[in-house]
Structure 1
Amino acid sequence: MTVLEKQAPPDVLRLARRRSARRALSIVVAALAVFSAYAVIADGATLYLQRLVDGTSNGVLYGLVALSLVLVYKATRVINFAQGAMAMAGTFLAYTAWNSWGLPLVVAILLAMLVSAVGAAGVERVLVRPFDPANHLAITIVTLALYLIFNAGAAMIWGFDPRGFPSLFPTGSGSHVEVLGARLSYVELGTLLLAVVLVLALHLVLTRTRMGLRFRAVASSLDSARLVGVHIGATVQGAWALAAAVGTLAGCLVAPTTFLDPTFMDKVLVYSFAAATLGGLDSVVGALVGGAVVGLTVTLVTGYVPAVGGSFGLACAFVVIIAVLQFKPTGLLGARGSERV
């Protein structure tokens, strides 16, 4: 942040941020429009529309996982590298409650979200809180250790045999609608609707409630937050718990698209990190927008650039991360300022 930006009134800064976000989104939309024209000319509108649907569907899933990253970062300014492993463990809990205990799938997922939230709160209290909140490096190393612990623990308890996870939404023949020749499944529609509702709810919580105000106060300045009576530990603990619940829900939506095993969230976490970086690590709405852009980018580039191929998908995510950090470190919708990434 420059000296002029520090001295500018808050209204002026907000206006500048909105203009910057509009410019960035305009560039993304323009690039997508140009590529769309090329894709339609090359292989026809139906195939392009189907890939657009598939890319958006994948992007929504990345955005949901990115939400859990944003929630922790928004309160702590630290990336939780164990978020994918925690979501994986929560998904296994939901699978066990459904498959072994005979609970309805919705009840099993809600129970897993609750247990994940309580577990994450305990992890924060025992393993994270003893460190100084300003010591970001130490906390980041703890999250890396937690990633290894959760993966090893899941392998010991459930093994590496892949399992099929049921979907919350109808599947099978006839469970789709056709739009201009492209198939839009009920799973994709339901996931998109659920993601939008979740983002709106979290946005309202973080911008219209005291909990959200405490999140922003802790992220902005630990000393100032203490001076106004904010309980730093409880606020960070709440962020971890909420992120774990959201991550478990995201894992339960991702699992039906693949097989459930201790590593099924690893690749998704990379795409989600790219989504959070692109949308803005402190923006809830940006997580979903970034996820959609990353999903579309990976699907369209690997589908229409023969030299790239499907194996380049993960590399596309790293290219997005590097490009964002180089040209717009705050992301499309993130607040301007000095960010630790």
Structure 2
Amino acid sequence: MTTFFQQIVDGLTTGVIYAAIALSLVLVYRTSRLVNFAQAEMATLGGFLAWQLSDWGVPFPLAIALAVAASFALGATMERTVVRPLHEAHNELALFVISLGILVVLINVEAWIWGYQVKAVPLVIDGPAVSIGSVLVSRQKLVIVAVAIVIAALLFVLFQRTRFGLAMRAAADNQPSARLLGLPVNATMTLSWGIAAAIGTLMAILVAPQQFLQPGMLLPVLLYAVAAATLGGIDSPVGAVIGGLIVGVVENLAGTYVPGIGQDFKSAVAFLIIMGVLLVRPQGLLGSKSVVRV
């Protein structure tokens, strides 16, 4: 029983990472109708910036803050200069190709500047694992969980308690109507991209000590995050969080308890379960259903 609860907790802590990246994907999709496959590499670039600043002698907390701020600026600039013209032209295929192109370019830029040698990123907090009953959790994972909770709470306040958040929700639901009402649709798109990039960078820095910082570090995580966002509902922030936790727990339990699966095939089990759910409910668990007037 102890092992079972340990696997549940390990799955939840991993699922928190998937949920945070999935949340950033949902933020972008709600405003741009684009699944940004470059999200993971934008986050990894921010991780490299934090590592470089730290290597130059900048205190690590300040390096994290500067990297997150730079990532916010990069995400906002990318939306304004690259994504918006294609979005206004309603060229969805070009948007998809652009996101893949940015992914490839960023991987090569990172390799050109820093190489493929793994970089050692310091832990935010070190020390022995914390015992919660019979379950052990590393201090770094507890920090990741705490940061993810704070991010979710801040986004809730932004969406539900501010006028700009209301404008973001209105633009996500119906952009043409929001524009007619005079809401700042373009600003909401820019802000969403900036926030998504900042969230991704913060999570990349926190998971880098375990994942090992190198180009393409978060690509496996991106696949799980896309699955989590799809499972929960690609336009639902709450669904992204729930989907991430489900994926984390399912893959962990499958790898431990399903005979013949093991650690190498556990990801396939998680995706098979998600595919089964989507066959029954294509919009995901909490996603909105599309209605077309004929």
Regarding TM over 0.5, the answer is yes
After TM superposition, the score normalised by the length of structure 2 is 0.93
Q: CA deviation at 1:324?
A: 3.5
Matches within 5 A, 1:224-235: 224-235=177-188
With the length of structure 1 as denominator, give the TM-score of the two structures: 0.80
User: In the superposition, relative to structure 1, how do residues 103 and 320 fare at CA in structure 2: closer, same or farther (>3 Å)?
Assistant: farther
Gaps of 5+ in 2: none
Aligned partners of 1:304, 1:289: CA distance in 2, in Å? 22
Residues 149-188 of structure 1 correspond to what in structure 2 (within 5 A)? 149-171=105-127, 175-188=128-141
2:173 and 2:179 map into 1 onto residues whose CA distance is 11
- 1:244 matched to 2:197? The reply is yes
Moved over 6 A (4+): none
Larger Rg: 1
Distance in 1, matches of 2:155 and 2:238, equals 9
In structure 2, do the counterparts of structure 1 residues 79 and 122 end up closer, same or farther at CA, with 3 Å as the change threshold? Answer: same
Aligned equivalent of 1:282: 235
Matched, 1:121 2:69: no
Pick from 5, 8, 20: which aligns with 1:64?
A: 20
Q: Please tell me the residue identity of whatever aligns with 1:314.
A: S
CA RMSD, 1 decimal = 1.8
In the alignment, the residues of structure 1 paired with residue 125 and residue 245 of structure 2 have an alpha-carbon distance, to the nearest angstrom, of 20
Rounded to whole Å, the distance in 2 between the matches of 1:215 and 1:317 is 32
1:138 corresponding residue in structure 2: 94
CA contact (8 A) 1:90 1:251 kept: yes
| Match of residue 146 from structure 2 | 193
User: What are the ranges of 5 or more consecutive residues in structure 1 without an aligned counterpart?
Assistant: 1-44
Measure, in 2, the Cα distance between the counterparts of 1:125 and 1:231: 14
Aligned to 2:217, the other structure's residue is in SS state: coil
**Maintained 8 Å contact 1:91/1:252:** yes
CA contact (8 A) 1:274 1:320 kept: no
Code of the aligned partner of 2:64:
I
2:253 maps to 300
Q: Offset of 1:338 from its aligned partner?
A: 5.1
2:2 is aligned to 46
Aligned residue in 2 for 1:87: 43
Separation in structure 2 between the aligned mates of residue 220 and residue 66 of structure 1, nearest angstrom: 19
Deviations 1:9-58 (A, max 9, x none): xxxxxxxxxxxxxxxxxxxxxxxxxxxxxxxxxxxx11112111211111
User: Aligned pairs, how many?
Assistant: 291
SS at match of 1:264: coil
